Structure 1
Amino acid sequence: EGYQHTVTDSIYVREEFRRQHIGYELLSFLAEEAQKLGYHSVVAFIARENLASIRLHEKVGFLYRGELKEVGFKFGKWVDVCLYQKMLEGGEGR
């Protein structure tokens, strides 16, 4: 209940559809819908090595909030995860 006003995002774009602004359109739409639904913020957990996703989130207005060491395990190795957040205007809960 204490976190009901915050949502997380996950967007995956198939390789053959990348670099066509699809990720930007999807993430922008997701943030707009979250705002319309009354959420206060959106958070994203992004593998530090995923620079494309980091740049995408920054382009949509997400801010870097910190890093968690070795909390993900991908492709046979531990990865650090960056925390990004976008505050939504007028989001006052559902």
Structure 2
Amino acid sequence: MTSSAVYCDNPVSLDDRRQWFESRQTQGYPVLVAEDDGEVIGFASFGDFRSYPGFRYTVEHSVHLAPQARGKGIGTELVKALLPLARQLGKHVMIAAVDGANQGSIRFHQRLGFVETARMPQVGKKFGRWLDMVLLQIQLD
């Protein structure tokens, strides 16, 4: 856990990841996987943004890449593939929540058409310091 991409202090266990995967399946949400020669090098998914009924048309996505997969367009292809899947499920907006210091991820999302809509100072804490979150969104329909 050397990155602030996810505001979690503990490593994710295999059991944690299985529960996450099963939750996505139960909710009918996709999990896309990128592999290279049989090795998983990235994945992307989306899920409910908030649990209240008024947010049922909004999802938040996540995309994660192995270090060796970064900068090769794999993340772009994964997120591009998520967009029509969200549309097919009747979703209206997709949210990206990005660490405020991660300018590369912010630019990545902007290149895909996401627009910054909020900066939330000091809403997370990791590595003994407060972290800012940037919310970006793209309208799907």
The aligned runs of 1:1-94 (5 Å cut-off) are: 1-89=53-141
The 2-side partners of 1:8 and 1:37 are apart by: 14
Structure number, greater radius of gyration:
2
Provide the identity percentage: 36
Alpha-carbon spacing, 1:15–1:76, altered in 2? closer, same or farther (3 Å): farther
TM-score normalised per structure 2? 0.60
Tell me, which stretches of 5 or more residues in structure 2 are unaligned? 1-52
Given that 1:47 and 1:72 are in contact with CA atoms closer than 8 Å, whether structure 2 keeps it comes out as no
Q: How many residues align?
A: 89
The 1-side partners of 2:61 and 2:127 are apart by: 21
Per-residue CA deviations over 1:12-67 (Å, capped at 9, x if unaligned) read 11111101101101111111211121101001111111112111111111001010
TM-score normalised per structure 1? 0.88
Alpha-carbon spacing, 1:21–1:43, altered in 2? closer, same or farther (3 Å): same
Higher relative contact order (CA 8 A, sep 6+): 1
Question: How far does residue 2 in structure 1 lie from its aligned partner after superposition?
Answer: 1.0
The 1-side partners of 2:71 and 2:99 are apart by: 19
2:123 is paired with a residue of what secondary structure? strand
The 2-side partners of 1:23 and 1:74 are apart by: 24
Q: Which amino acid aligns with 2:61?
A: D
Task: Please list every run of at least 4 consecutive aligned residues from structure 1 whose deviation after the TM superposition is greater than 6 angstroms.
Answer: none
